[in-house]
Amino acid sequence: MKFTQPDRPFSITALRLSVVALFSLLLSSCMSTPGIPAKARVFGIQVDTTVDSDVARYYLEQHLQVIHSNQVLKDDIEKLHVVHGSAIPTREELSKISQNFSVDFASIFLVRQLLKDRCNQQINVDFLQILSETPAQRVDTAPFMVLFMPGWDYAENGAITGADFAQPRKLITELGMENHLVALPPTGSVEDNAKVMAQAIALHAGSGKHILIAGASSSGPAIHLALSEMVSKESLKSVKAWLNLGGILQGSPLVDYMQQAPQRWLFNAVVWFKGWDRQAIMSMSAQESRPRFQRLHLPPDLLVVNYLGVPLSGQLSQYSRDKYPLLKSQGPNDGLTLLTDAIAPHSMTIVAMGSDHFFAEDPRINAKTVAFMTLIISYLNVNSKTPPVEGVQCVLMD
């Protein structure tokens, strides 16, 4: 990409310096996050990081290990457990828990609640089992096709961010599975992307193969819209699963944040300099996304599985460290969206504790990609849209 154009005279270096300066100013006004060492094995995962509070450390190292050295904290946490039972906390409830305890505490609590669901328990156990196998369990991939829906600005920066799905496509090809990258408008709106997706699904629906839709980040709300309102009933018969990889289904509050002063001037300057459509970006705001999310209804027989990154404050990647603090006042987030806003309706969730929104930063992401696809195919190959949990219908969230 050429960064100097006749009608856009200032350099990319100057723009980057402006971005850094503004974010430094904004972050300096935020309270710094304490770095309290915490180490424990929880939910079958080894956690060795820093957390934002003593109560988060207590929750990890003691309460979840059934060790109780602080009666006051024990009583407060048990009261919280009783109030919520087995329910998944809402965005508003997690925000309140963050205020009463801490953001890291609320993130851990969300993981606990997600994994109290028997279907989520089973799918996470199955995922970790496949991940531990060497080589990965082989499955019959011949009847399936994957349509990858790329993320924002994938044409210019996909090789850096992973939004172009180049590496996952290579891995899926090695599994012997047909796959295609859908040519979405690289910086298109949710609505425009959904129209292109619907056309791509209609094109491939006649192939005779079962279609799996995989999309991350900005493509998530477009997939949700397309499958709910734009794909014909006939074409939907070929779509068997949606793999929601950190989709910003209810928008990114960062977009809303960038509409406020003083950061609004920088947002407008970047949009102008890059030649982006401002309304396309606004279609991914929380203000526009949450009403859209509420009206959409997915096909009832579709297998929907979320891959949800849940970072603690000491586990942020280089791409999330400057954004996570801007959202922490609203509760647990992955550096781009609030955690519960990345969970699709009527779905199951694989919890990627320790990852944030940028999955490519996970050193084991290649193995996890293969394990995830193997898991989904294994479920579909036995003609079941749910993991084998006796006596339980695996539909998690409304």
Whole-Å CA distances, 178 to 171, 172, 209: 11, 8, 9
**Average pLDDT over every residue of 323-352:** 96
Give domain limits for the chain: 36-116, 123-381
Residue 396: the pLDDT is 35
Least confident among 49-63, 329-343, 369-383: 369-383
Could you tell me which residues come within 8 angstroms of residue 266 by beta carbon, excluding any fewer than 6 positions away?
Answer: 18, 19, 22, 258
pLDDT band at residue 16 under the 50/70/90 scheme: very low
pLDDT at position 397 over 50: no
pLDDT band at residue 159 under the 50/70/90 scheme: confident
Contact 392, 119 (CB under 8 A): yes
Most confident of 155-159, 210-214, 271-275, 316-320: 210-214
pLDDT band at residue 153 under the 50/70/90 scheme: confident
**Average pLDDT over every residue of 318-328:** 93
For the chain, the three-class secondary structure string (H helix, E strand, C coil) is CCCCECCECCCHHHHHHHHHHHHHHHHHCCCCCCCEEEEEEECCEEEEEEECCHHHHHHHHCHHHCCCCCHHHHHHHHHHHHHHCCCCCCHHHHHHHHHHCCHHHHHHHHHHHHCCCHHHHHHHHHHHHHHHCCCCCCCCCCCEEEEEECCCCHHHHHHHHCCCCHHHHHHHHHCCCEEEECCCCCCCCHHHHHHHHHHHHHHHHHHCCEEEEEEECCHHHHHHHHHHHHCCHHHHCCEEEEEEECCCCCCEHHHHHCCCCCHHHHHHHHHHHHCCCHHHHHCCEHHHHHHHHHHCCCCCCCEEEEEEEECCCCCCCCCCCCCHHHHHHHCCECCCCEHHHHCCCCCEEEEEECCCCCHHHCCCHHHHHHHHHHHHHHHHHCCCCCCCCCCCCCCCCC
Contact 345, 221 (CB under 8 A): no
pLDDT band at residue 81 under the 50/70/90 scheme: very high
Cα(49)–Cα(328) distance, integer angstroms: 18
CA-based Rg of the chain, rounded to a whole angstrom? 21
pLDDT, tens digit (0-9, with 9 covering 90-100), for 202-222:
999 989 999 999 999 999 999
Torsion angle of alpha carbons 94, 96, 97, 103, nearest 10°?
A: 70
**Average pLDDT over every residue of 260-277:** 89
Name the amino acid, one letter, at 168. Answer: P
Least confident among 13-17, 101-105, 131-135, 298-302: 13-17
Residue 134: the pLDDT is 61
pLDDT, tens digit (0-9, with 9 covering 90-100), for 289-319:
999 999 999 999 999 999 999 999 999 999 9
* Alpha-carbon torsion (271, 23, 104, 40), positive or negative: positive
pLDDT band at residue 39 under the 50/70/90 scheme: very high
**Average pLDDT over every residue of 66-83:** 96
pLDDT at position 364 over 70: yes
Contact 323, 261 (CB under 8 A): no
**Average pLDDT over every residue of 182-200:** 96
Could you tell me which residues come within 8 angstroms of residue 375 by beta carbon, excluding any fewer than 6 positions away?
Answer: 123, 126, 127, 130
> pTM score, two decimals?
0.89
What dotted CATH number matches 123-381?
3.40.50.1820
pLDDT band at residue 25 under the 50/70/90 scheme: very low
**Average pLDDT over every residue of 343-348:** 95
Least confident among 52-61, 197-206, 214-223, 264-273: 264-273
Cα(235)–Cα(107) distance, integer angstroms: 38
User: What is the rounded average pLDDT for all residues in the chain?
Assistant: 88
* Alpha-carbon torsion (258, 264, 265, 271), positive or negative: positive
With a pLDDT cut of 90, the percent of the chain lying above it is: 77
pLDDT at position 3 over 60: no
pLDDT at position 135 over 80: no
Residue 223: the pLDDT is 98
Residue 21: the pLDDT is 45
For 397, what's the count of Cα atoms within 13 Å in the CB-facing half-sphere? 21
